């Protein structure tokens, strides 16, 4: 295959209904994109689908997925710990092989227009696809975006809400579970970790009370070379220890660049330069 290849990582506001999740993955597959990974969480009430394909395949998959979400998910009866503004909540386009960011941006904008025409769901563009600087960070768009949408019109769809559609480079999403029920400790650690509060570069962090005896740190790393995963885990262990809290486990969400895994493995083996 010589065509450019793109990744999409749609986040659905559904983590409990296996039928809806399966229909969503089938919609992506039916559009020709290859589903690489699906993960669901009932407490967050959220699923993340990772898929890849040509420009036409991922665009068709995005629109088909939005249609399933619109039909099957009603935000008026939705409850979950993760913030959301849409049934299909977040839809990033990522350039992979032979693809560039300009093409990913064009796909994001095409998706917003197509979803509005077909489903009357408005979209807000974020990341590299943002039309105004204020909307580049995803937290600035969700959960309460200011001003008119970039595609479509307000008010949001009655049951499906609105969508944050973006273009970005590869991102590593992973969670770290802390052995405490005290959400204040988790939030304090997340605040110390995240870049916007003076923490580690390219890192976004939130804390959620997902189990009675543990707190989850939800982490997004937008540049794993600037902030390696092993560095984040080391810092979390140190900050948690200051509160007498243990790190219980970690989990990856979706796909991860090979470099991020190799560098972490080499670090664990004691290789002096993990970039080798």
Q: Per the domain annotation, does 91 fall within a domain?
A: yes
Residues 157 and 33 in one domain: yes
Q: Per the domain annotation, does 71 fall within a domain?
A: yes
Which residues have CB under 8 Å from 216's CB, separation 6+? 175, 176, 177, 178, 186, 207, 208, 209, 210
Check whether 65 has a pLDDT greater than 70. Answer: yes
Residues 178 and 56 in one domain: no
| Residues belonging to the chain | 276
| Whole-number percent of the chain with pLDDT over 90 | 81
The predicted structure's pLDDT at residue 270: 87
Report helix, strand or coil for 243.
coil
The predicted structure's pLDDT at residue 139: 84
| Whole-number percent of the chain with pLDDT over 70 | 97
Residues 147 and 227 in one domain: no
Distance CA 247, CA 237 (A): 6
Which alpha helices (H) appear in the chain, and where do they start and end?
A: 18-30, 55-72, 101-119, 138-141, 183-193, 229-242, 258-268
In the sheet that holds 203-211, the strands lie side by side as 203-211, 214-221, 172-178, 247-253
Q: Per the domain annotation, does 56 fall within a domain?
A: yes
Q: Per the domain annotation, does 74 fall within a domain?
A: yes
Q: Per the domain annotation, does 202 fall within a domain?
A: yes
Q: What's the CATH number where 53 sits? A: 3.30.990.10
Residues 68 and 184 in one domain: no
More confident residue, 196 or 111: 111
> Domain boundary at 118, 147, 167, which?
167
82 annotated active-site = yes
Residues 160 and 193 in one domain: no
Section 51-80 average pLDDT: 97
pLDDT in tens, 7-45: 999 999 999 999 999 999 999 999 999 999 999 999 999
Residues 199 and 220 in one domain: yes
Cis peptide before 155 (omega within 30 of 0): yes
Check whether 96 has a pLDDT greater than 60. Answer: yes
Range of the domain at 245: 172-268
Residues 143 and 17 in one domain: yes
Q: Per the domain annotation, does 144 fall within a domain?
A: yes
The predicted structure's pLDDT at residue 275: 55
Check whether 98 has a pLDDT greater than 90. Answer: yes
Question: The dihedral of CA 40, 221, 198, 230: what is its sign?
Answer: positive
> Domain boundary at 167, 193, 216, which?
167
Q: Per the domain annotation, does 130 fall within a domain?
A: yes
Q: Measure the N-to-C terminal CA separation of the chain; round to a whole number of Å.
A: 30
Q: Per the domain annotation, does 273 fall within a domain?
A: no
Distance CA 217, CA 232 (A): 11
> Domain boundary at 125, 152, 167, which?
167
- From the candidates 82, 181, 211, 243, give the one annotated as an active-site residue: 82
Residues 80 and 59 in one domain: yes
Residues 153 and 216 in one domain: no
Distance CA 157, CA 129 (A): 22
Residues 54 and 161 in one domain: yes
* 200: DSSP letter: S
Residues 158 and 214 in one domain: no
The predicted structure's pLDDT at residue 89: 97
Helix H, strand E, coil C: the string for 250-269 is EEEECCCCHHHHHHHHHHHC
Query: Can you read off the two tokens belonging to residue 200?
Result: 């580690």
Residues 180 and 74 in one domain: no
pLDDT in tens, 122-167: 999 999 999 999 999 888 897 667 789 999 999 999 999 999 999 9
Domain count, the chain: 2
* 135: DSSP letter: G
Q: What's the CATH number where 231 sits? A: 3.30.70.670
């Amino acid at each position: 295959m010589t065509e450019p290849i793109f990744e999409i990582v749609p986040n659905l506001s559904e983590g409990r209904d296996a039928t809806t999740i399966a229909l969503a993955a089938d919609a992506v597959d039916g559009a020709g994109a290859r589903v690489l990974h699906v993960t669901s969480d009932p407490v967050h009430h959220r699923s993340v689908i990772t898929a890849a394909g040509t420009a036409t395949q991922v665009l068709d998959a995005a629109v088909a997925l939005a249609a399933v979400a619109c039909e099957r998910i009603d935000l008026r009866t939705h409850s979950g710990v993760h913030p959301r503004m849409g049934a299909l909540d977040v839809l990033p386009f990522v350039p992979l092989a032979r693809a560039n960011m300009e093409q990913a941006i064009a796909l994001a904008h095409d998706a917003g227009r197509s979803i509005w025409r077909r489903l009357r769901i408005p979209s807000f563009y974020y990341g590299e696809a943002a039309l105004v600087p204020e909307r580049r960070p995803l937290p600035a768009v969700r959960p309460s975006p200011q001003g008119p949408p970039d595609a479509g019109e307000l008010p949001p769809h009655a049951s499906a809400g609105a969508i944050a559609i973006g273009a970005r480079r590869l991102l590593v999403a992973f969670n770290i579970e802390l052995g405490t029920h005290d959400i204040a400790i988790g939030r304090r650690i997340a605040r110390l970790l995240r870049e916007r509060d003076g923490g580690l570069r390219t890192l976004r962090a939130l804390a959620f009370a997902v189990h009675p005896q543990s707190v989850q740190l939800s982490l997004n790393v937008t540049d794993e070379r600037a902030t390696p995963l092993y560095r984040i885990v080391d810092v979390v262990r140190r900050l948690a220890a200051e509160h007498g809290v243990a790190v219980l486990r970690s989990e990856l969400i979706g796909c991860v660049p090979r470099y991020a895994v190799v560098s972490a493995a080499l670090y664990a083996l004691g290789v002096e330069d993990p970039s080798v």
